[in-house]
């Protein structure tokens, strides 16, 4: 019985903090990255983003892409179509959506 009560308190506590969070922080899924996101990055970004010598963001591994999302505004670069730069073939709308939905955990 005490254990149940404790669980109940825990539940209330969790639901409160959940509501108070300014935004839900999510971790983009690694399997979706491997299946859907990495192929897009490999064909459209890696040529310029495979080493720190050439560009501010390295996008070879899952962790590097997550780092670029957190520290190099990757989501904004993609959604605003600033990347890929210049005359490089732009991403299609569906490719942009895949990346955006993945980052937003949708």
- Looking at beta carbons only, is 19 or 94 nearer to ligand HEC? 94
Number of shown-chain residues binding ligand HEC (CB under 6 A): 19
Contact indicator for 78, 69 with CB cutoff of 8 Å: no
Considering only residues 73 to 92 of the shown chain, the ones binding ligand HEC according to CB under 6 A are 73-74, 77-78, 83-85, 88, 91
Buried (b) or exposed (e) across 36-57, using 16+ Cβ within 10 A? Answer: ebbebbeebbeeebeeeeeeeb
Quote the tokens at residue 55: 């560009």
Q: Is 58 in the site for ligand HEC (CB under 6 A)?
A: no
Of 38, 40, 42, 47, whose CA–CA distance to 95 is shortest?
40
Q: Which stretch binds ligand HEC (CB under 6 A): 1-9, 11-19, 23-31, 39-47?
A: 39-47
Q: Is 70 in the site for ligand HEC (CB under 6 A)?
A: no
Interface with ligand HEC (CB under 6 A), residue from 72, 79, 97, 101: 72
Interface with ligand HEC (CB under 6 A), residue from 56, 93, 94, 106: 56
Q: Is 57 in the site for ligand HEC (CB under 6 A)?
A: yes
Rounded distance, CA 95 to CA 104, Å?
Answer: 14
């Amino acid at each position: 019985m005490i254990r149940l009560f404790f669980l109940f308190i825990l539940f209330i506590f969790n639901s409160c903090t959940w509501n108070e969070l300014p935004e839900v922080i999510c971790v983009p899924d690694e399997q979706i990255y491997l299946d859907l996101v990495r192929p897009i990055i490999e064909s459209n970004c890696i040529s310029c983003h495979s080493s720190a010598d050439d560009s501010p963001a390295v996008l070879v591994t899952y962790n590097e892409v997550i780092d670029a999302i957190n520290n190099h505004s990757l989501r904004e670069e993609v959604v605003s179509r600033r990347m890929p730069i210049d005359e490089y073939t732009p991403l299609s709308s569906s490719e942009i959506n895949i990346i955006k939905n993945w980052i937003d955990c949708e």
